[in-house]
Amino acid sequence: MNRAVFLDRDGVINQTVMKGNIPSAPMSLSELKILPSVPQALRTLKEAGFKLIVVTNQPDCARGIQTHEVVEAINAKLKAELPLDDIRVCYHDNDDHCLCRKPKPGLLIDAAADLQIDLSKSFMVGDRWRDMEAGQSAGCKTIFIDYQYLERRPEQFDVALQSLLEASEWICKLL
């Protein structure tokens, strides 16, 4: 069985685009900015033997303000530039009641089945409460990247850190 680090996309891999006080996804390739320490953090995790899987909610597609094509172009650019094994996307909104939209753990569970991942030896890194709940529900350790957003905070997580680089160092200390 493999170990994985599941990564939220916007806010963990790339910068969020703030719309007022709400963190949002980039709306175009030109808005995509990979966070500076992310390549180093991902290399460290890859060298430690982890599968690297992005799990991202992209409800703007269901809301009609983003296209699947732009989301896929952003994801393709991330895969081309970073050592990611997979990117899993939920395109649904809350009212769709799907199993893949975080905080439900469907994206993680499906990836684990497809890639033979032991969820109990895996981690979920995210910057929002939905990420933490999805990771916990899947049985992963959870790392909260705390940007002090003015929104609901996660109730539980294993550790709060400031970046994916800090998260990679924390994970590797546990090995």
DSSP character string of 8-26 = -SBTTTB--EEETTEEE--
Q: How far is CA 164 from the centre of its chain?
A: 10
60 counts as catalytic: no
Beta bridge partners of 50: 3
Active-site annotation holds for 114? no
Q: Band the pLDDT of 34: cuts 50, 70, 90.
A: very high
The DSSP 8-state label assigned to residue 141 in this structure reads E
Q: Looking at residue 94, what is its pLDDT?
A: 92
Model confidence at 20, pLDDT cuts 50, 70, 90, reads confident
In words, the CATH class of domain 3-161 is alpha beta
% the chain with pLDDT above 90: 98
Q: How far apart are CA 52 and CA 167, in angstroms?
A: 13
Would the pTM count as exceeding 0.95?
Answer: yes
Q: Which is the catalytic residue, given 10, 85, 95, 114? A: 10
Q: Is the pLDDT of residue 19 over 90?
A: no
Say which amino acid occupies 8: D
